Amino acid sequence: MTGRRAIGGLVAVAAVVVLIGWWSSWLTVAPARADGFQNLAAGWNLARTGTFSTRPDGRPDMFREPLVPVLTAAAIRLAEAGSPSASLADWSGGERVRALKHQNLIWMLLLCGGVWGAVRGLGASRVSAGAAVMLANGVAFGLRREFVDSLGSDLAGAALLVTASALLARGWISTHWRWWIAAGLVLGLAILVKASLLYVSIGLAAALTLLAAWRAKGLPGDNRGVAILLMLLTAAAVTTPWSERNFHQFGTRALTDRGGEVLLIRAYEDQVTPTEYAGVWCAYAPGRLRPWICRAGGWSRADMAPGGRLGRFNRAPADDPDAIRRAAEPGTGPAPGLSFYQTAKARNQLLAERYAARKSPRTAVDAAARQEAVALIRARPDLHLAMTPAFLWRGMGGLTVWLALAALAALVWRRDAVAVFLLPSVGLGLFLALFSHFIPRYAWLMLPAVCVVLPVFLEATWLRLVSRVRASAPRPGLTGR
């Protein structure tokens, strides 16, 4: 047995070395952009002045979650070894940015470890665990290497989410409190990467409590809610320092000040006509399926072009930005014939100009955008609810729905741990469908859950089939001969 373990350990080490080399080949000198550049700016300012800021002038802000920028700042400090010399522009491209991207190797290791641990924790074999890791590398992130070749937070969020889910499932099976504490710790870190998981964690705790009561699953001392509460308290202990920092500097305990902008985009995209609602399934269809679905629905490329029947779903910059800006000035919602997304972005820009002189301008913009979004949603809650299935569809072809069905199937088969593993991903998908514009990139955080559950279900189905075949086979000595 010792010899087998040694061989297994050597194989595991060799696999890790090969994977690290493979992942390293994905990293390029492509410059940091969009969210990745904001994380880089926050990290660079933190390394230089000790101030968390995504702004060029270095004024403190809370525009991004802190964990990825903090790690980026540590990498910059380590690379410069106490003698800072490179500017933010220097760090945003070339070999320097490629060096910073190596922190993603840590997230890839955590993601693969979380996937492996989840499959094994759910009772499946090493073969299934290996298949799940291969899926995570070959399908989930192998086909979208830009998530690894980036300073964005999607990879970190995916790694932490699948690891927290694995620990939750393990805690559901085990009677040891340490799994719930570990799950709360990792969930807290995930919240510091993706703030939306804060709200998901609250719903998750409620769902776990209901499931425990339904199954009458006793934990040590028959305190069924204690473990769940312990998980929440641990997560809160991780996130509270950041929320308190924001409260003292900006007067709010929110984790970021981007939620209002995202909700406003969603509120604008809710304001569809009957024709647009009929075509939303074409407009929001997954990329490779879109031509087929649009053709089946009688929609053409001309319909998606600006001015077309579905032109308001077009996110491309407008040919006439002044028209977009004029439409955004009243703050009463989108205008006929103009892009939902571009009009909402223009409205946010106008709010930014209005509150530029404030002590905390972005916090003020976030509050104002949120207020306008809530007013639009309250005026037409029927549209908001009617569009929620469309946004579920937009999130990678209804991935949330498929995961929810898998969780229900697990409950029917009394595989509660599988359902518990899936709950965080399902909760995230539902939250995004209700309160965001749920672009497909957001759904990538849930793909590792698919990589885990698919091999687990396939192995369970195979074993059940083999068991039935064996049970139906004639036994020796009972054939009458």
Does the pLDDT of residue 62 top 70, yes or no? yes
Range with the poorest average pLDDT among 218-222, 268-272, 338-342, 415-419: 218-222
pLDDT reported for residue 13: 87
Tokens of 157: 């969020």
The listed range with the strongest mean pLDDT (330-339, 351-360, 372-381) is 372-381
pLDDT at 333: 84
- The verdict on 363 and 422 lying in the same domain is no
Residue 361: pLDDT above 80? yes
CA distance 362 to 95: 32
Mean pLDDT of all residues in 184-189: 98
Distance of alpha carbon 74 from its chain centroid, rounded? 24
Residue 242 CA to residue 66 CA, distance in Å, equals 8
CA torsion sign, 299 to 395 to 429 to 270?
Answer: negative
CA separation for the pair 153, 67 (Å, rounded): 9
Residues 127 and 234 placed together within one structural domain of the fold? yes
The Cα–Cα gap between 326 and 350 comes to 10
Report pLDDT for 79: 86
Looking at the structure, tell me whether residues 227 and 334 fall in a common domain: no
Q: Which residue has the tokens 């080399």?
A: 21
Distance from C-alpha of 8 to C-alpha of 70, rounded to nearest angstrom: 35
Gap between the Cα atoms of 467 and 218, Å rounded: 31
CA distance 328 to 478: 82
> Is 43 part of a structural domain of the chain?
no
Pick the last residue of a domain from 379, 409, 434: 379
pLDDT (0 to 100) of residue 306: 87
Considering the domain architecture, whether residues 215 and 144 belong to the same structural domain is answered as yes
Residues 75 and 238: their CA atoms lie apart, in Å, by: 22
Taking residues 415-430, report their average pLDDT: 96
Is residue 435 one of the residues assigned to a domain? yes
Mean pLDDT of 267-278: 95
Q: Is residue 316 part of a domain?
A: yes
- Claim to verify: residue 146 and residue 247 sit in the same structural domain: yes
In which band, very low, low, confident or very high, does the pLDDT at 66 lie, cut at 50, 70 and 90? Answer: very high
Whether residues 158 and 222 share a domain: the answer is yes
Inside any domain, residue 276: yes
Query: What three-state secondary structure class fits 288?
Result: coil
Question: Is 379 in contact with 134 (CB distance < 8 Å)?
Answer: no
Residue that is last in its domain, among 379, 409, 442:
379
- What is this structure's pTM? 0.93
pLDDT reported for residue 142? 63
Alpha-carbon gap, residue 339 to 345, rounded angstroms: 10
Do 233 and 280 lie in a common domain? Answer: no
Q: Which domain holds residue 313?
A: 272-379
Q: Are residues 306 and 223 in the same domain?
A: no
Structure tokens at 351: 């709010």
* 109 found inside a domain: no
Together in a domain, 341 and 424: no
Kindly report the average pLDDT of the chain as a whole number. 90
- Give yes or no: residues 347 and 424 share one domain: no
Tens-place pLDDT, residues 224-245:
678 999 999 999 999 999 999 9
Task: Read off the pLDDT of residues 292-329 as tens digits, 9 standing for 90 and up.
Answer: 999 999 999 999 998 899 999 998 887 778 888 888 88
Q: Report the C-alpha gap between 78 and 98 in whole angstroms.
A: 15
| Confidence (pLDDT) at 319 | 72
216 dihedral zone (left: phi>0; alpha: psi -120 to 50; beta):
left
Give a yes or no: residue 213 inside a domain: yes
Last residue of a domain, one of 379, 411, 440: 379
Does 479 reside within a domain? no
Q: Which residue carries 């031509």 as its tokens?
A: 291
Looking at the fold, whether 206 and 167 belong to one and the same domain comes out as yes
Sign of CA dihedral 372, 373, 374, 377: positive
Percent of the chain with pLDDT over 70: 94
- Residue range 75-119, pLDDT digits in tens: 999 888 766 678 899 999 999 999 999 999 999 999 999 999 999
Q: What is the average per-residue pLDDT within 385-403?
A: 93
Single-letter amino acid, residue 11? V
Give the span between the Cα atoms of 273 and 279, in whole angstroms. Answer: 10
In a domain, 292, yes or no: yes
| Residue scoring higher pLDDT (218 or 39) | 39
- Rg (Cα) of the chain, in Å, rounded? 25
Q: Coil, strand, or helix at residue 264?
A: helix
- The span from the CA of 379 to the CA of 313, in Å, is 21
pLDDT of residue 307: 86
Count of CB atoms within 10 A of residue 192's CB? 26
- How many structural domains does the chain have? 2
* pLDDT over 50 (residue 481): no
User: Is 322 in the same domain as 369?
Assistant: yes
Q: pLDDT confidence of 140, banded at 50, 70, 90?
A: low
Residue at 299: amino acid letter: W
